[in-house]
Structures are given as C-alpha cells and as structure tokens.
Amino acid sequence: MVKVKKARIQDVALEAGVSMMTVSRVLNQDPKVSDSTRSKVLAVAEQLQYRPNESARRLASNKSYLIGLLYDNPSDAYISQFLLSALKSCRTKGFHLVVDEADKNIEKTLQSVKDLINETKVDGMILLPPVCEQKEIIDCLQDANVPFVRVAPDSQLTISPYICMDDYQAAFDLTEMLIKQGHNKIGHIIGDANQGVSRLRYQGYLDALRSNKINTPPEYIEQGCFTYQSGMIAAKKMLALKDKPSAIFAANDDMAAAVISIAQNQGINVPNDLSVVGFDDTTLATVVWPNITTVRQPIDEMAKLAVSLFTTNKVKDFTDLKSNQLRNILDFKIIQRESSKPIE
C-alpha cells in the first residue's frame, strides 16, 4: 500500500501563508477571522485533504469529543435504530459515542454515570426513555455541569432540551384516518400505564372520536402494557364482543401484531373483516403478515438531532437556551400498509 502522508495543521498553515493558530481558528469556526483569510485557509485545507487529528485535538483542548448515551432496555428495536443513527452522526463529526446501559438498581446506574463523567469525561449525555425521567440521574448531571438531552421524555424541564414527536397528534391523525375510511367502531388498546406516551396516544384517539361525534362503548377500550401478550389478552376480549369493532388501534406495533394473530386465529380476516393499526413502525411492523399500518417515529432524525446539539458549537451550555430552543418536536408520518383498509 502506498502510504500518503497525512496533512497536518502546520502544512495547511505553511501553504496558506498564515499561522497554525489561524488555521485552527478557521477550523473551529471562530468568527474572529477575516473572510478572505478564512476562504484561503478553507481552500488549502480542501486541496490538501486535511483532516484534524482527533487525538491531538482532544489532548490539547481537554475536551473529550465523546458523547454518552444512556439507555434502558436493550431488546427494543427502537434503541438499536437510535444507536445506529447516533453512531453514524458522531462519526461524521469526529465524535465518539460511549454507550451505557442503565441498571435496574438506580445506585449502580448513578455510579456508572459518574464514571462516565469523571473518567471518560463525556462532553454531554443523551438520555433515552425512560431513564430520561430519573430524577437522581438528572440531578447528578446537573451537579456535574454536564449538558444533556432527553429523548421522548414524559415531563418537561427548563434546564435541558428535549426531542420528541407529537404522540397526541399522531394518534389523533391515525384515528381520524380510520374514521375517514368509514370506520366508526374503533377499539383502542392503551400502552403501558407508566409511560407518558400511552396517555398521549389514548387522548389523541379519544379526541379524534369526539371531534367526529362518535360514541364508543367502554368495551372498546382495553388497558395493555406494550407487550405482545398484553395485546393478545386485550384482543381476545374485544373480539369476543357481540358487536365487534371494525378497527383496532393498538398503542404500539407489538400489540397490533398480537391483535392480528388473534383475529386470524378466530377466522377474522385482516384487513377485510378487521382493520388493525399500530404505532412506532418498528421492524415487527413489516415482519408479520399482513404488514402493519402504523405511525413512523422519526428515530433516525431524533438521534441525529441529539448528537448535533453537542457537536455544533452554537450552544456551549444548555443553561442559556431559550424555551423555544428547548423544544424539538419532529414530524411523524402515517404509514399505510396491508393491515387496514376502508370500509366497503
């Protein structure tokens, strides 16, 4: 292999006829550089294919260029998608991700977070749900003055930005879509009672019915807990009713998949006799048959945004963020697939 010597900051400086400091300033987007100097440096850097040496930068600046990511449940497709996207974002910006799993024992998790701060010296932390609700962890980060972002949190904080989608609106839209397709007997399986999104999705469902003046018997609403099994139990009850719903909106894909399975088991054709819709657009939605109509969470974008909050130097410290900068609500999308169809 022919080894091409990598250009150093010195090489760029020499070639551009400026000092190393000036090059460094340009690269770090310091505004105090004249435009002419800036463009010259940029041109030379481009020409020499200069890439800063990350280790030297880290060592000299005493910044880690490391972002911590704390997650809860490793079996969730959500996590892996978020992770993959975050990893990709980090890579393009010269950062690395230090991933840590929260322990059931909050004390252990806390210790782990402290290690992340003291030893690894992360520049910031990304908190996934539901760890992002843990008061102890939030306090710890705040005490240590480590900026953090919370993803899909249940509660809002004024000290830290959060990233989420509008679960309420998505549930509203999804329900209204069913209504527009002629369904007026729509059941709902509520998600885990301990998660804020369950409440929001349920409320969106209710309000869509209300604004379309549709009355729904209480038997059409069942409490689930986001698991396949809880979906089966709920589906069995709902499909045993004399007056069955023509559509069931399950608060996530796992429960929707369970509904489909139970329906098929009872000889109820999906989607001809029963429309089923889910939420999240996890891999499960396209792995079962018929594929599930669902709401796509913008997970990739969420991860990208979370990372960029740390990698862009715009905001050194989250404490000076204005309230409108704290909110980052991303767009969702309803994905129509084969598990639902209009009433004929």
**Can you give the binding site for DNA, defined by CB under 7 A?**
6, 8-10, 18-22, 24-25, 27-28, 31-34, 36-38, 50-53, 56-57, 59-63
Quick check: bond before 245 cis, omega within 30? no
Q: Kindly state whether residue 287 participates in binding a second copy, applying the rule CB under 8 A.
A: yes
Residues with Cβ within 8 Å of residue 36, at least 6 apart in sequence: none
Q: How far is the CB of 36 from DNA (least distance, A)?
A: 7
Site string (219-258) toward a second copy, x via CB under 8 A: --------xxx--x---------------------x--xx
d(CA 124, CA 310): 7
- Cβ closest to DNA, residue 51 vs residue 108: 51
Supply the minimum distance, in Å, between the C-beta of residue 51 and a second copy.
6
Q: Which of residues 35-54 bind a second copy (CB under 8 A)?
A: 51, 53-54
**Taking CB under 8 A as the criterion, which residues in 65-84 touch a second copy?**
74-75, 77, 79-81, 83-84
Q: Which does 222 bind (CB under 5 to 8 A by kind): a second copy, DNA, none?
A: none
Neighbours of 85 (CB within 10 A): 19
Angle between helices 77-92 and 299-311 (to 10 degrees): 40
Q: Given the complex with DNA, which of 6 and 180 has the nearer CB atom?
A: 6
Q: Which residue intervals of the chain are DSSP H helices?
A: 9-16, 20-27, 35-47, 54-61, 77-92, 106-115, 135-143, 167-180, 196-211, 228-239, 253-265, 284-287, 299-311, 323-326
> Could you count the other beta carbons within 10 Å of the beta carbon of residue 254?
26
> Are the C-beta atoms of 26 and 38 separated by less than 8 Å?
yes
Within 13 A of 99's CA, how many CA atoms are on the CB side?
12
Question: In the complex, what is the shortest distance from the CB of residue 280 to DNA, in angstroms, rounded to a whole number?
Answer: 40
Residue 9 binding result from DNA, a second copy, none, given CB thresholds of 5 to 8 Å by partner type: DNA
Task: Determine the residue type at 256.
Answer: A
Asked if 118 is part of the footprint of a second copy (rule: CB under 8 A), the reply reads yes
Among 136, 139, 143, 338, indicate the residue that binds a second copy (CB under 8 A).
Answer: 143
> Could you list the residues that contact a second copy (CB under 8 A)?
1, 4, 51, 53-56, 58-59, 64, 74-75, 77, 79-81, 83-84, 87-88, 91, 96-101, 118-120, 143-145, 227-229, 232, 254, 257-258, 261, 264-265, 283-284, 287-289
